[in-house]
């Protein structure tokens, strides 16, 4: 099924087209969300939300970008919104814990577990993703889309609504910031 046929089928409410969409993009959507969220349950939830939004808003898709770019854009937006919401909850939990009877934090971050990382490398990968999480949001997003999802500068620019030179700049700053953070780590 071509992209045009897929879009046409989705706009006509064809179940076959929706199934084809999910089969074609589910892994990419899940992996992008997982790369940003580091929690498989959250990534699964975001993936479902992305496909629900596509189903509901396919008529608003203007086809200026590819369907894949639109899906990535929705995934990134939903993932970042989820992270922001989680940070607000984390701050609230921390503040609440300051006044709790036993004075213990109410929020514990989930263990990092990405399916593409071998067991022996999980600790290093977890540390790297922790450092990536400390990057500014726009640098972190561009870095994950480029290094984890292997998207081109052009695709990332479309997803982020910026220019390729802006993406290049974001990636260069992300790499510089990561080098600084790695160099500050004890041996």
pLDDT in tens, the chain (187 residues): 899 999 999 999 999 999 999 999 999 999 999 999 989 999 999 999 999 999 999 999 988 889 999 999 999 999 999 988 876 555 444 333 333 444 444 434 444 455 555 555 666 777 788 888 899 989 999 998 998 888 999 999 999 999 999 999 999 999 999 999 888 887 6
**Cβ neighbours of residue 72 under 8 Å, at least 6 residues apart?**
28, 29, 32, 145, 149, 151, 155, 159
pTM, two decimal places: 0.68
| CA 3 to centroid of chain Cα atoms | 23
CATH 1.10.10.10 domain locations along the chain: 114-187
CB 54 within 8 A of CB 47: no
- Topology annotation, domain 1-110: Rna Polymerase Sigma Factor; Chain: A (1.10.1740)
Q: Is 90 exposed, middle or buried (0-12, 13-18, 19+ CB in 10 A)?
A: middle
**Domain at 114-187: CATH architecture:** Orthogonal Bundle (1.10)
CATH 1.10.1740.10 domain locations along the chain: 1-110
CB 37 within 8 A of CB 83: yes
* 3-state SS assignment for residue 2: coil
CB 79 within 8 A of CB 148: no
Please give the structure tokens belonging to residue 71: 């899906």
């Amino acid at each position: 099924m071509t992209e045009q046929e897929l879009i046409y089928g989705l706009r006509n409410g064809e179940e076959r087209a929706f199934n084809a969409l999910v089969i074609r993009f589910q892994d990419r959507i899940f992996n992008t969300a997982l790369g940003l969220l580091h929690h498989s349950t959250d990534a699964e939830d975001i993936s479902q939300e992305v496909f629900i939004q596509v189903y509901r808003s396919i008529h608003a898709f203007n086809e200026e970008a590819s369907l894949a770019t639109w899906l990535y854009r929705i995934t990134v937006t939903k993932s970042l919104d989820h992270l922001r919401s989680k940070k607000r909850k984390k701050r609230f939990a921390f503040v609440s814990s300051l006044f709790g009877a036993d004075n213990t934090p109410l929020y514990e971050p989930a263990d990092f577990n990405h399916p593409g990382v071998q067991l022996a490398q999980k600790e290093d990968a977890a540390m790297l993703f922790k450092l990536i999480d400390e990057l500014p949001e726009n640098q972190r997003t561009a870095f994950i889309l480029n290094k984890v999802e292997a998207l081109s500068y052009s695709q990332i620019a479309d997803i982020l609504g910026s220019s390729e030179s802006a993406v290049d700049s974001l990636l260069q700053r992300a790499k510089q910031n990561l080098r600084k953070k790695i160099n500050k780590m004890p041996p």
